């Protein structure tokens, strides 16, 4: 839309002023608009802006600033754990998120969780995360638990934080009481006041609306960035009477949750345009809201391991059902009810534990057919794990070609092999030295002098572990670092090939078909193997690791192994009474409520059927028994 507008107005001076597009609902209480302009003498920089208008009076809207770091909080140094804005939204299951306070470390693209020190006041859930330590970065937005908003243009000396539930701080105001003050920052030293990508926050005069604004920049021909008075002009245009310049630059990012629960960037970050990824930032503000009311509403999923209960409402009586599946093609459908209603519930059976599913709601009513957005849920994995081998476990090793499969069997004599030595076992002959990101390196292995000093094409490993209840672990979970390919044996039986041709007859010169990550074991391999060969007592895991080519400069091996047991808890039902009314509540999905006149049955489904709590009924004159059934 912005491009079409630019073309239409390119020859008209009347079109030079900033133009804001229509407000489009994203969620209940959150609207979104885009704006752009033609650069001219009054507004010399080309701008593309995105603004989210948050209704602070909507009872379903709530705010979250970045909370304290999970462990080791230190005021003034270790205050938050860094995340991208997209990751922050996803972790907290928010509907909208934007970057907020300035922060240190000054490096970017740091690992998630990197400790950060915020500049200015930050409060999350009533807990002070960062104190106001000076007059720098002292322009503050604060909110009480009911979202009543206050703007403090200069929070120094620091004001009381009593009653403040959420607070974030920016650098300086650009609009005060409806007046654009941005020109006062012209010609000040430093690049902060140059045309830059901007993150801005503002409040309407009546304090009902919070405006979260990004102005993209550093992308010639698309958006240059904004000067302070240009930022102020945009904030007045969107409806703000007070506005603050927050942390901007490459950190400027505004993200929303899509219908699948994943983050979608609304603006075009200069960091993403430059590097392909968001910066790791120390401070965020997230907004929680409910979906926009529609014909199909209040869709709720209570997923269990092998079944899920889904409930929803329609604004008029409708025959409604669920379409679902492992991919966006769906493919499965719940039974279609015989009659229409406004409240709906179904049980989706025979699902796979620990697996994401896609689904949508379809409703046929007198007004026509309605379909929800494509949604997603994930079933629960109740598996319990018993560790058999740790990643740093010791292994026997050999570089000699193994011409038979005897070396994989428990009774094989490996006395002449090297070790046992702890993993990671590795060799790296690069002139620049081993990759420091491959960790934990423990045992250096020999290279092949007969092959110009390169690593051997194949290395062989064996280790023993004890099992007391083999029958309870039909599956083994393996997680490790393997460079490049491997074949895994359990008690002499081949159980898995990783990046090895499944049809290949294995010899010491067999090459792997691929390699991990960009060629180094800097990311883990996870896979399961069949535990049918397990025995009570002593077991042997044997692995042969193959390089991708004869002149590969490195090899790495280490793997942790755990037994996997399914251990679903029994469903818990709570019964409460009020007068003659009985109420049943339960927290697990995937069950149907049944009733009987005697504990021995016969059991029948409670009419509905009832697949999600709560369920209320009147107490009868005779005993009645209830149970949850899968």
pLDDT digit string, tens, across residues 250-306: 999 999 999 888 999 999 999 999 999 999 999 999 999 999 989 999 899 999 999
Whether a cis peptide bond, with omega within 30° of 0, leads into 480 is no
> Domains of the chain: which residue ranges?
2-288, 296-382, 385-566, 573-629
Inter-residue contact 407 to 331 (CB < 8 Å): no
Does residue 15 register a pLDDT over 50? no
Give residue-wise pLDDT tens across range 575-604. Answer: 898 988 999 998 888 899 999 999 999 999
Residue with more model confidence, 396 or 432: 396
- Chain mean position to CA 255: 13
| Position 418 pLDDT exceeds 70 | yes
Mean pLDDT (whole number) for 198-222: 97
pLDDT at 41: 62
Residue 472 pLDDT greater than 70, yes or no: yes
**Whole-angstrom Cα Rg for the chain:** 31
What residues form DSSP beta bridges with 314?
A: 296
Residue 151 has pLDDT above 70, yes or no: yes
Largest CA distance in the chain: 91
Section 46-73 average pLDDT: 97
Q: For all residues of the chain together, what is the average pLDDT?
A: 92
**Are 312 and 348 a contacting pair, CB within 8 Å?**
no
Instruction: Report the pLDDT value the prediction gives residue 357, as an integer from 0 to 100.
Output: 96
Q: Cβ neighbours of residue 630 under 8 Å, at least 6 residues apart?
A: 306, 307, 590, 591, 592
Q: 296-382, what's its fold?
A: Immunoglobulin-like (2.60.40)
Among 139, 140, 120, smallest CA distance to 130 is for 120
Positive or negative: CA dihedral 421, 424, 426, 431: negative
Between the alpha carbon of residue 424 and those of residues 105, 399, 461, the distances in Å are 31, 16, 12
Nearest Cα neighbor of 580 from 616, 629, 526, 531 is 616
Q: What is the mean pLDDT of residues 1-28?
A: 58
Q: What is the mean pLDDT of residues 63-83?
A: 96
From the number of C-beta atoms within 10 Å of its C-beta (0-12, 13-18, 19+), residue 382 rates as middle
When pLDDT is cut at 50, 70 and 90, the band that residue 123 belongs to is very high
Give me the DSSP letters along 511-536.
PPS--STTSSS-S-EEEEEE-TT--S
CA dist., res. 319 & res. 369, Å (int): 10
DSSP letter at 570? Answer: P
pLDDT tier for residue 5 given thresholds of 50, 70 and 90 = very low
504 vs 566, residue with greater confidence:
504
pLDDT (0 to 100) of residue 302: 92
Tell me the average pLDDT across 115-125.
Answer: 97
- Whether 568 shows a pLDDT value over 90: the answer reads no
Judge whether residue 40 has pLDDT over 90: no
> How much is the pLDDT for 1?
30
DSSP 420-466: EEESPEEEE--TT---TTS----EEPP--GGGTTPPPSEEEEEEEEE
Which token pair is 346?
A: 């179904």
End-to-end CA distance of the chain: 51
Decide if pLDDT at 453 tops 50.
yes
Return the number of other C-beta atoms located less than 10 Å from residue 553's C-beta.
Answer: 19
Determine the Cα–Cα distance for residues 50 and 601; give it in Å rounded to an integer. Answer: 62
Give the model's pLDDT for residue 444: 97
The three-state secondary structure class of 379 is coil
Measured in whole angstroms, the distance separating CA 473 from the mean position of its chain's CA atoms is 30
Torsion of CA 324, 325, 328, 334, to 10 degrees: -20
Supply the pLDDT for residue 2.
33
Residue 468 has pLDDT above 60, yes or no: yes
pLDDT at position 10: 32
What is 385-566's CATH superfamily? Galactose-binding domain-like (2.60.120.260)
Percent of the chain with pLDDT over 70: 97
Q: Calculate what percentage of the chain has a pLDDT beyond 90.
A: 81
Rounded Cα–Cα distance for residues 298 and 254 (Å)? 26
289 φ, ψ (degrees, to nearest 5): -155, 165
Task: State the pLDDT at residue 386.
Answer: 85
Q: Cα 127–132–134 angle (5° rounding)? A: 170
Residue 241 Ramachandran class (φ > 0 left, ψ -120 to 50 alpha, else beta): alpha
Q: What is the pLDDT of residues 601-617, one digit of tens each?
A: 999 999 888 998 889 99
pTM of the entire predicted model: 0.66
Averaged pLDDT for residues 64-79: 96
Mean pLDDT of 184-209: 94
> Is 16's pLDDT higher than 50?
no
DSSP states of 58-111:
-TT-EEEE----SS--BTTTB-EE-B-HHHHHHHHT-SEEEE-S-EE---SSPP
**Is 80 exceeded by the pLDDT of residue 14?**
no
Six-digit token string for 572: 């818990």
- Beta strand pairing call for 443-444 and 425-428: parallel
Query: Residue 630 has what pLDDT?
Result: 83
Contact 26, 259 (CB under 8 A): no
User: What pLDDT does residue 42 have?
Assistant: 63
Residues linked to residue 196 through DSSP beta bridges, in sequence order = 226
Local confidence band at 187 (pLDDT 50, 70, 90 cut-offs): confident
Q: What is the pLDDT of residue 9?
A: 35
Summarize pLDDT for 375-391 with one digit per residue, the tens: 999 999 887 788 999 99
Is the pLDDT at 399 greater than 80, yes or no? yes
pLDDT in tens, 487-528: 999 999 999 999 999 999 999 999 999 999 888 999 999 999
Handedness of CA 92, 97, 101, 103 (dihedral sign): positive
């Amino acid at each position: 839309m912005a491009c079409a507008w630019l073309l239409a107005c390119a020859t008209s001076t009347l079109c030079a002023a900033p133009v804001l597009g229509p407000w489009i609902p994203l969620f209940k209480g959150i609207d979104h608009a885009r704006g752009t302009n033609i650069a001219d003498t009054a507004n010399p920089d080309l701008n593309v802006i995105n603004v989210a208008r948050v209704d602070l009076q909507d009872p379903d809207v709530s705010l979250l600033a970045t909370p304290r770091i999970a462990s080791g909080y230190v005021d003034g140094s270790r205050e938050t754990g860094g995340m991208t804005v997209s990751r922050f939204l996803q972790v907290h299951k928010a509907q909208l998120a934007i970057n907020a306070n300035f922060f240190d470390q000054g490096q970017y693209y740091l690992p998630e969780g990197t400790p950060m020190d915020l500049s200015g006041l930050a409060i999350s859930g009533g807990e002070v995360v960062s104190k106001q330590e000076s007059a720098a970065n002292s322009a503050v937005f604060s909110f009480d638990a009911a979202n009543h908003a206050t703007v403090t243009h200069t929070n120094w000396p620091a004001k009381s934080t009593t009653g403040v539930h959420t607070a974030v701080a920016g650098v300086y105001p650009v609009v005060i009481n409806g007046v654009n003050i941005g020109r006062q920052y012209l010609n000040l030293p430093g690049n902060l006041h140059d045309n830059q990508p901007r993150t801005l926050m503002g409040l309407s005069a009546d304090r009902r609306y919070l405006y979260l604004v990004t102005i993209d920049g550093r992308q010639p021909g698309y958006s240059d960035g904004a000067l302070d008075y240009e930022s102020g002009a945009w904030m007045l245009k969107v409806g703000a009477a007070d506005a603050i310049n927050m942390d901007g630059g490459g950190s400027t990012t505004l993200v929303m949750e899509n219908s699948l629960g994943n983050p979608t960037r609304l603006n075009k970050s200069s960091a993403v345009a430059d590097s392909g990824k968001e910066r790791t930032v120390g401070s965020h503000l997230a907004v929680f809201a409910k979906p926009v009311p529609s014909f199909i509403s209040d869709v709720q999923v209570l997923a269990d391991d092998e079944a899920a209960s889904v409930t929803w409402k329609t604004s008029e009586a409708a025959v409604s059902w669920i379409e679902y599946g492992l991919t966006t093609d769906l493919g499965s459908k719940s039974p279609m009810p015989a009659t229409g209603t406004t409240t709906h519930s179904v049980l989706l059976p025979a699902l796979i534990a620990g697996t994401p599913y896609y689904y949508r709601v379809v409703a046929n009513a007198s007004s026509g057919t309605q379909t929800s957005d494509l949604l997603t849920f994930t079933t629960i994995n109740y598996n319990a794990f018993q560790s058999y081998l740790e990643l740093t476990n010791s292994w026997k090793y050999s570089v000699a070609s193994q011409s038979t499969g005897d070396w994989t069997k428990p009774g094989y004599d490996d006395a002449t092999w090297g070790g046992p030595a702890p993993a990671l076992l590795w060799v790296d002959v690069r002139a620049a030295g081993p990759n420091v990101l491959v960790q934990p390196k423990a045992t250096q292995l020999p290279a092949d002098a007969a092959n110009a000093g390169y690593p051997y094409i194949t290395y062989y490993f064996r280790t023993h572990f004890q099992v007391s209840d083999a029958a309870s672990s039909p599956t083994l979970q393996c997680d490790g670092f393997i460079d490049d390919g491997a074949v895994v044996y359990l008690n002499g039986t081949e159980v898995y090939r990783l990046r090895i041709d499944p049809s290949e007859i294995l010899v010491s010169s067999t090459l792997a078909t691929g390699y991990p990550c960009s060629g180094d074991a800097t990311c883990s391999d996870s896979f399961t193997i069949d535990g049918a060969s397990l025995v009570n007592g002593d077991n042997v895991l044997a692995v042969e690791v193959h390089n991708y080519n004869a002149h590969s400069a490195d090899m790495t091996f280490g793997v942790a192994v755990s037994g996997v047991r399914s251990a679903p808890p029994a469903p818990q039902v709570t019964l409460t009474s009020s007068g003659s009314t009985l109420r049943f509540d339960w927290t697990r999905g995937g069950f149907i409520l049944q009733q009987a006149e005697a504990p021995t049955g016969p059991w029948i489904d409670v009419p509905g059927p009832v697949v999600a709590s709560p369920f209320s009924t009147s107490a009868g004159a005779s005993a009645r028994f209830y149970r949850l059934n899968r």
